[in-house]
């Protein structure tokens, strides 16, 4: 009879102790998870803050870059026109005529040639077209 009572008490104590132990263990694990999730949330918020800059910044760069890319050919054209207009005739600058390659030389009039070539040739190279001769 006494053994039955003792066993009953042991049973109940085991149940309560087991529950307490496991719940304490699970609680500490969940606490750690909560702390890690809080860190993750802060990192995600930081990423969100960083990402907010990307859209407007890239849009700004695209717009400005597009305007620059569209305006540069105008500058090339004007600069080349000035170079052509101010270059003296070939007879007045024999050293330039000798320096100019045959492909860029123009009959009767050989203006100073830009080292990078003409605007048109650069644009053609840009799209992968190479002029022969």
Partner 1 sequence: MRDLAVTSTEHTLWVSVIIVGFVVVLAVAALLSLLIYLVKIIDRRVVEVRDTLKAAAANTADTVLIPQVAEGVEAVLAEGLQHHLFLGRVLGKVKA
Site for partner 1 contains 8 (CB under 8 A): yes
Nearer to partner 1, 4 or 131 (CB): 4
| 82 in Cβ contact with 75 (< 8 Å) | no
Q: Please, what is the angle between helix 119-126 and helix 2-86, to 10°?
A: 150
Q: Answer yes or no whether residue 50 interacts with partner 1 by CB under 8 A.
A: yes
Contact 119, 76 (CB under 8 A): yes
Helix H or strand E encompassing 110: none
Ramachandran angles phi, psi of 115, nearest 5°: -60, -30
Binding residues for partner 1 (CB under 8 A): 1-2, 4, 7-8, 11-12, 14-15, 18-19, 22-23, 25-26, 29-30, 32-33, 36-37, 39-40, 43-44, 46-47, 50-51, 53-54, 56-58, 60-61, 64-65, 67-68, 71-72, 74-75, 78-79, 81-82, 85-86
């Amino acid at each position: 009879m006494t053994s039955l009572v003792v066993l009953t008490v042991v049973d109940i104590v085991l149940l309560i102790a087991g529950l307490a132990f496991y719940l304490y263990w699970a609680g500490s694990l969940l606490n750690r998870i909560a702390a890690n999730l809080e860190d993750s949330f802060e990192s995600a918020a930081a990423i969100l803050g960083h990402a907010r800059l990307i859209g407007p910044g890239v849009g700004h760069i695209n717009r400005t870059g597009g305007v620059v890319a569209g305006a540069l050919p105008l500058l090339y054209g004007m600069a080349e026109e000035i170079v052509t207009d101010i270059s003296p005739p070939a007879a007045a600058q024999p050293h330039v005529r000798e320096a100019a390659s045959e492909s860029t030389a123009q009959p009767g009039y050989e203006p100073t040639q830009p080292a990078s070539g003409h605007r048109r040739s650069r644009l053609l190279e840009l799209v992968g077209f190479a002029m022969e001769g």
